Amino acid sequence: MKKILLKDYLILSNEEHKELLDIRNKEYIREVSLDKSIIEFVNHISFVMALKNSDKKFFAIIYDDKIIGGVNVFNINSNIKWGIFFLNEANLIVKSIVPLYFLEYIFKTYKNEEIFLDVKKENINTISYDKNLGFNIFKEDDKIISMKMSKEEFEKAKGKAFLKRVIKQLDKFDFEILSCRGVEV
Residue 96: the pLDDT is 93
Q: What percent of the chain has pLDDT over 70?
A: 97
Predicted structure pTM score = 0.93
Contact between 136 and 164 (Cβ < 8 Å): no
Tell me, what DSSP letter sits at residue 158? Answer: T
Q: What is the pLDDT of residues 6-54, one digit of tens each?
A: 999 999 999 999 999 999 999 999 888 888 889 999 999 999 999 998 8
Domains delineated in the chain: 2-184 (3.40.630.30)
**Inter-axis angle of helices 41-50 and 14-24, nearest 10:** 110
pLDDT of 183 above 60:
no
Beta bridge partners of 116: 81, 148
Residue 36: the pLDDT is 84
Q: What is the pLDDT of residues 155-165, one digit of tens each?
A: 999 999 989 99
Residue 44: the pLDDT is 93
pLDDT of 185 above 70:
no
Tell me, what DSSP letter sits at residue 12? Answer: -
Contact between 68 and 90 (Cβ < 8 Å): yes
